[in-house]
């Protein structure tokens, strides 16, 4: 029997991002989506090195090391979330448009959550990933169509960039 713990977490993240984007910061929806892409590259390139620092295998400045029980997958996931928040907080992607339509904000928010979940699934080792996919009803679709999940947000950004309403 499939439990809904992963699905509840996915839907809760989507609800929080939608509420944040629609109520508080409509103009940050695009910045958050772009920051997920950037954060993935940061997490995938720095994740192993930082995990080695936390495991005590790498020394920083010939004297600093941290002994923690953090796997590379946990470090990459934390880096993804941390850099997504940091980059989206300071990224300015408004251009001349100050307002986004509700449809555009919802599309960006859904794309952000789905893309972040895919990147987290890609960071996981195969046995843990399979456990997550077996215990969720939403995650297997995201992982199965991962090529489309990677391309769809870019297509959405291009579409709204070309055909988006100019409300100035």
In this predicted structure, the answer to whether residue 148 has a pLDDT above a threshold of 90 is yes
Residue 33 within a domain:
yes
Residue 48 within a domain:
yes
Looking at per-residue pLDDT, the higher value among 160 and 167 belongs to 160
User: What tokens were used for 75?
Assistant: 């470090």
In this predicted structure, the answer to whether residue 87 has a pLDDT above a threshold of 70 is yes
Least confident range from 86-90, 95-99, 100-104, 124-128: namely: 95-99
Under DSSP, the state recorded for 26 is G
| Overall average pLDDT of the 122-134 stretch | 89
Looking at per-residue pLDDT, the higher value among 38 and 5 belongs to 38
Looking at per-residue pLDDT, the higher value among 160 and 24 belongs to 160
Q: Rounded to whole angstroms, what are the CA distances from 3 to 7, 81, 129, 137, 152? A: 8, 24, 15, 9, 28
Residue 144 — very low, low, confident or very high, per pLDDT cuts 50/70/90?
very high
Residue 168 within a domain:
no
Q: Rounded to whole angstroms, what are the CA distances from 47 to 44, 105, 131, 143? A: 5, 30, 22, 21
pLDDT of residue 94: 57
Alpha-carbon torsion 115, 107, 134, 147, what sign? negative
Alpha-carbon torsion 89, 93, 95, 98, what sign? negative
Verdict on whether the full-model pTM lies above 0.85: no
In this predicted structure, the answer to whether residue 3 has a pLDDT above a threshold of 60 is no
Residue 47 — very low, low, confident or very high, per pLDDT cuts 50/70/90?
confident
Residue 89 within a domain:
yes
What's the number of domains the chain is made of?
1
In this predicted structure, the answer to whether residue 145 has a pLDDT above a threshold of 90 is yes
Instruction: Please say whether the beta carbons of 117 and 139 come within 8 A.
Output: yes
Residue 167 within a domain:
no
Residue 95 within a domain:
yes
Residue 145 within a domain:
yes
Q: Which domain holds residue 28?
A: 5-162
Q: What is the CA radius of gyration of the chain?
A: 18
């Amino acid at each position: 029997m499939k439990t809904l713990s992963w699905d509840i977490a996915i839907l809760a993240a989507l609800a929080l991002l939608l509420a944040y984007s629609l109520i508080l910061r409509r103009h940050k929806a695009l910045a958050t989506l772009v920051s997920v892409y950037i954060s993935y590259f940061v997490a995938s390139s720095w994740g192993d090195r930082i995990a080695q620092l936390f495991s005590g295998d790498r020394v920083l400045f010939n004297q600093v090391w941290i002994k923690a029980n953090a796997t590379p997958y946990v470090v990459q996931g934390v880096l993804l979330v941390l850099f997504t928040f940091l980059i989206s907080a300071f990224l300015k992607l408004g251009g001349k448009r100050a307002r986004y339509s509700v449809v555009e904000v919802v599309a960006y928010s859904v794309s952000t959550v789905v893309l972040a979940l895919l990147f987290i699934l890609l960071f996981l080792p195969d046995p843990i990933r399979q456990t997550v996919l077996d215990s969720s009803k939403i995650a297997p679709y995201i992982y199965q169509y991962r090529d489309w999940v990677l391309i769809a947000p870019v297509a959405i950004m291009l579409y709204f960039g070309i055909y988006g309403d100019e409300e100035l």
